[in-house]
Amino acid sequence: MPSIRARLRRRLVWLTAVVWISASVLIVAAVAMEYRQSHHSRAAQIARLLLAFTSTQPAALITMPFPDQPWEPDFHADEYLVVISRKGVLFYSSEALPPDQLLTLPLHGKAKTGDRTRIFHGLEDERSGTRVVIGVDMFDPLFSSIHVAGLLAAYVLAATVLIIGILIIGIRSGLAPLGAFARQVGERSEDNLAPLDKTEVPEELQGVAHALNGLMARLNLVLAHERDFVSNAAHELRTPLTAIRAQVEALGEDLPDRSHARFANILRATDRAGRMISQLLDVTRSQSVDLIQTPADRIDLVGLVQSVIADLVPLANRCGVEVVLESPRSLHVTARPELLAIMLRNIVENAMKYAGTPGRVAVTVVTATGPATIDLLVEDDGPGLTAEEFQRSFARFQRLGQSGGDGVGLGLSIVGELSQRMGIPVEWMEPGTLGGLRIRLRLADTPPNGATDVSRQPSP
Give the pLDDT of residue 439.
92
What count of other Cβ atoms lies within 10 Å of the Cβ of residue 11?
10
Residue 321 forms beta bridges with which residues? 359
Query: Are 96 and 65 contacting, i.e. CB atoms less than 8 angstroms apart?
Result: yes
What is the DSSP annotation of 26-60?
Answer: HHHHHHHHHHHHHHHHHHHHHHHHHHHHHTTS-GG
Query: Fold for domain 190-291?
Result: Helix Hairpins (1.10.287)
Residue 378, H or E segment:
strand 373-380
Cβ-contact 248, 212 below 8 angstroms: no
Quick one: pLDDT at residue 384? 86
Which residues does 234 contact at the CB level (< 8 Å), separation at least 6?
A: 277, 278, 280, 281, 284
- Higher pLDDT pick, 313 / 252: 313
Higher pLDDT pick, 13 / 252: 13
Average pLDDT in the 264-291 region?
70
Q: What are phi and psi of 377, to 5 degrees?
A: -110, 135
**Annotated domain spans of the chain:** 4-160, 190-291, 295-460
How confident is the model over 137-156, as pLDDT tens digits? 877 767 777 777 778 778 87
Q: pLDDT digits over 56-72, tens only?
A: 777 654 544 444 444 44
DSSP state of 224: H
Q: What is the pLDDT of residue 68?
A: 47
SS3 382: coil
More confident residue, 124 or 190: 124
Task: Say whether domain 295-460 belongs to CATH 3.20.20.140.
Answer: no
Using alpha carbons, select from 199, 200, 196 the residue that is nearest to residue 185. Answer: 196
- Percentage of the chain exceeding pLDDT 70: 79
Q: What's the pLDDT tens digit per position in 242-264? A: 787 777 777 766 667 777 777 77
Contact 121, 136 (CB under 8 A): yes
Return the minimum-mean-pLDDT range out of 92-106, 326-340, 384-398.
384-398
Q: What is the mean pLDDT of residues 438-455?
A: 61
- The whole-chain average pLDDT of the chain stands at 77
